[in-house]
Amino acid sequence: MRIIVSGGGTGGHIYPAMALIKRLKERDLIDDVLYVGTEKGLESKIVKNAGLNFKTIEIQGFKRRLTLENVKTVQLFLSSIRKSRKIIKEFKPDIVVGTGGYVSSAIVYAAHTMHIPTVIHEQNTIAGVTNKFLAHFVDKIAIAFTEATDQFSEKKKIVFTGNPRAQEVVNIQKNDRLKEFDLAADKDTVMIFGGSRGAKPINQATIETMDRFVKADYQVLFVTGRVHYDNVVKLIDEKYLNSANISVLPYIDNMPGILPDIKLIVGRSGATSIAEITALGIPAIFVPSPYVTHDHQTKNAMSVSKVGAAKLIPEAELTSDSLYEAVNEIMSDSKVQAEMSEKSKHIGVPDSADRLIKVLTELVK
């Protein structure tokens, strides 16, 4: 199979695409792959570092208000379609897959006009603007949350696959990596993590809870995000930084590798995080970012919390008390942990990449 994959802007669009490509290679189903993105996007660094064939187009998203900048957006979209058609003619793909972000709009739409099979993948409960636009033209719409079904009028095209990222992490085993961070490998651990850049409100609530976490029967792995680390360390009493019960880090490379050693995760509710957490059945406390488009992190978190696999604390209600009470309620009761874990696994999709691959292979036949 010759495949073009496109997705960019955020890791939430890129990592599912990379997981799909990885699984296709594992199953020896790829003859060649081309990733199409933008030079300025995060995908440029990630895809190039992975050693994949990478080409770029110039395109930008629409502003949400009337502005002359949108005239340039339309011009770029039209020119990017022309370049996309050239890329497609040269590469000759059997199928084109878009995983979201405005960069995928041109290449997927161009493929449709050239009668090449097309698939989009929506990771969130609330569909992005690009996928809503492309849904009218593609052959199949793969979704990661059943709630996303209502976002599309083309119901016959929809296939529930889950997020390919889930299958990438599901077989990771407990590996005692906690020792790397000066924590005990055999002690129940809570990881508090606000994303790669960190989340100031989560960090602040955690700092204010240190005096209670240091006395807990469990240990805390506090990942601040690189941009916040220095300031966070300044605000934490040195006796907590030197505690055997607490480890404070700016970031963890290969974050999925540590997940099997974690009993509870506190953090944001991005689609990739949820895919990983539910694949491994890890209880969670979600503090959704209220600043993302259409508040989709809150909708994502609600999807998991409504079945009892996670707790949801709105950022406006996050305090030292609400954080500690939620963490302690779960960590002080092994039965609650087991029930949440089982419910999390129940909604996880451990064969998500294979499900999406099935959609692709059926279209290519």
Q: Are residues 195 and 108 in the same domain?
A: no
Same structural domain, 157 and 202: no
To the nearest 5 percent, what fractions of the chain are helix, strand and coil?
A: 50, 15, 35
pLDDT at 365: 83
pLDDT at 355: 98
Query: Same domain for 208 and 112?
Result: no
Long-range contacts of 62-66 (CB under 8 A, 24+ apart): 62/102, 62/129
Say whether both 307 and 195 belong to one domain: yes
Domain assignment present for 301: yes
So what's the pLDDT on residue 72? 57
Same domain for 218 and 330, yes or no, is: yes
Is 163 annotated to bind a ligand? Reply is: no
Residues 279 and 237 grouped into a single domain: yes
Query: 195: annotated binding-site residue?
Result: no
The structure tokens listed for 161 are: 């696959």
Is 134 domain-assigned?
yes
pLDDT of amino acid 164 = 97
Q: Which ranges of the chain have pLDDT less than 50?
A: 63, 66
| Residue 144 counted as domain residue | yes
39 and 134 assigned to the same domain = yes
Same domain for 246 and 359, yes or no, is no
Same domain, 189 and 248: yes
The pLDDT of residue 10: 83
Residue 73's pLDDT is: 61
Q: What angle do CA 173, 242, 257 make, to 5 degrees?
A: 15
Domain check: are 341 and 207 in the same one? yes
- Nearest CA to 123 out of 103, 139, 147 is that of 147
Instruction: Check residue 293 and give its pLDDT.
Output: 80
What range does the domain containing 147 cover?
2-165+350-364
- Measured from the Cβ of residue 272, the count of other Cβ atoms closer than 10 Å reads 24
> Annotated binding residue at 196?
yes
Our count of domains for the chain comes to 2
The answer to whether residue 204 is domain-embedded is yes
Q: Which of 99, 92, 79 is nearest to 13 (CA)?
A: 99
Assign residue 254 the CATH number of its domain. Answer: 3.40.50.2000
Q: What's the pLDDT at 325?
A: 98
3-state SS assignment for residue 245: coil
- Has 12 been labeled as part of a binding site? yes
Q: Is residue 170 part of a domain?
A: no
**What pLDDT is stored for residue 254 in this prediction?**
86
Residue 10 counted as an annotated binding residue: yes
Q: Name the pTM for this structure.
A: 0.89
171 within a domain of the structure (yes/no): no
Within this chain, do residues 54 and 72 fall inside the same structural domain, yes or no? Answer: yes
Q: Are residues 152 and 267 in the same domain?
A: no
Q: Does 275 reside within a domain?
A: yes
Structural domain contains residue 172: no
